[in-house]
Amino acid sequence: MTGSLEERNKAIVRNAFEALFNQRDLVVAEAFFSPNYIQHSAHIPPGREGLLELVKSFPSTHQREMGVIVAEGDFVMAQGRLWGYGDGRPDRIVVDIVRIEQGLLAEHWDVIEDEASRGASRSGRPSFGDCFPEDRLDSPGS
């Protein structure tokens, strides 16, 4: 792989998240995560296995849309929208913070919030992308 360390690390995270959340190819996804993967998120069970089990529990409609992604050295921050929970739960906006070690996702933190509807947005602006959840074609209400 060519390019800067940061560009390589961003590509690793993009590919890992695509395999894990959107393609649901857990065999491919597992190869992106260190066997010693450290999970800091309180809502995700520990280790690589905990993450894979959590994703297995999601309905087939669950997806992750990638937003802004930035990197500095071995750290990557990836903004995203999680949607399609199938249980009436609102879409969620997440910033995943990942530490890369030897080309593998080695450690993870996140910050998550429910995505605001047009009526709930005090700024009048969407919290992700350029439209509110109810305006998206893939929105459960569409």
Residue matched to tokens 């399609």: 84
- What lies within 8 Å, CB to CB, of 21 at 6+ separation is 55, 62, 63, 64, 82
* Domains along the sequence of the chain with CATH: 5-135 (3.10.450.50)
Mean per-residue pLDDT, 11-29: 96
pLDDT for res 23? 95
The percent helix, strand, coil of the chain (3-state, each to 5) is 25, 35, 40
Alpha-carbon distance of 51 to 70, in angstroms, equals: 22
pLDDT band at 138 (very low <50, low <70, confident <90, very high): low
Alpha-carbon distance of 53 to 129, in angstroms, equals: 29
For 25-75, the pLDDT digits (tens) are 999 999 999 999 999 998 899 999 999 999 999 999 999 999 999 999 999
Q: CA dist 55 to 26, 58, 71, 104, 125, Å?
A: 9, 5, 25, 18, 30
> Order of strands, edge to edge, in the sheet holding 104-114?
33-39, 104-114, 92-101, 75-83, 63-72
